[in-house]
Amino acid sequence: MTPNQVLAPTLPFMGQLPGPMVPGCRIRLKAKINRPNGDLRLHLQSGASLNPMDDIPLHLTFLPATREVIRNSYTAGRWGQEVRTPNSPINFEEDFELALSAHPQGFNLEINSEPPISFNNQSPQDRITHIFLTGGAVVQSITYDNWSVTPSIPKEVMPSAPAFAPSPVPVPFQIPAWPHTGHVQFFGPSPPMLHSPQQPAFNPAMMMGPQQPLLGEVSVLN
């Protein structure tokens, strides 16, 4: 593990970033999502607290079952407007790489070196201090690029390696209800369309528990 890299973190995982996330900073993540109903959920948080939950300027859920990426934010105890991006290139049991970069207006998300999608800030970027990962996935590495400050040793919410001697974040915890209303943003050339409300792709209150089957979803294979 280099000063700017975390290898094989056990999920759920909470890690402190090298410094505030500002334009030019990038997080790269290599992972694989397990069958049958695995996903990967990523928070960029304004602190390490899960109970009560700190603000989340950026939440991402990667769903190979429906080939979607779901984006949201959580501020002052409320979820924002959900955005769903279809045509995700992530498949079950296949290695993939994410690159999440900050720019002055928001973020770029790149998956497997395909053309990135761009989205604006819903909360201030420079308040982001921690990354939280959970879900039915195996993460090989997390790499922090273009930070000038050496990161502190990351914490695992449920540590598997005593050598880190992390202080676990209290669990279980309550995640506020997520309304799951919003619109769709697309990977690739498909035109955007409104997404009608449906069963949530995941229940945030179950982030620390066993993954439940997706309800009300229809898989689309491209």
**pLDDT score of 218 more than 70:** no
Note the maximum CA span of the chain. Answer: 49
Give the Cα separation of 111 and 128 in Å (integer): 21
pLDDT tens, 177-211?
544 445 555 555 544 443 434 434 444 444 554 44
Give the Cα separation of 74 and 81 in Å (integer): 9
Residue the block writes with tokens 């984006």: 71
DSSP at 192: P
Q: What integer pLDDT is reported at residue 36 of this predicted model?
A: 85
As a whole number, the mean pLDDT across the chain is 77
pLDDT tens, 54-94?
999 999 999 999 999 999 999 999 999 999 999 999 999 99
**Beta strands of the chain (E only): which ranges?**
5-7, 13-16, 26-33, 40-45, 56-63, 68-75, 78-79, 82-85, 96-103, 106-111, 117-120, 130-134, 137-145, 155-156, 182-184
**pLDDT score of 149 more than 90:** no
Contact 20, 129 (CB under 8 A): yes
CB count within 10 Å of CB 135 equals 21
CA 19, distance to chain mean position in Å, is: 18
- Least confidently predicted of 6-15, 100-109, 118-127: 118-127
pLDDT tens, 127-139?
999 999 999 999 9
Walk me through the domains of the chain, giving residue ranges and CATH numbers: 1-148 (2.60.120.200)
In the structure encoding, which two tokens stand for residue 72, read together?
Answer: 């949201």
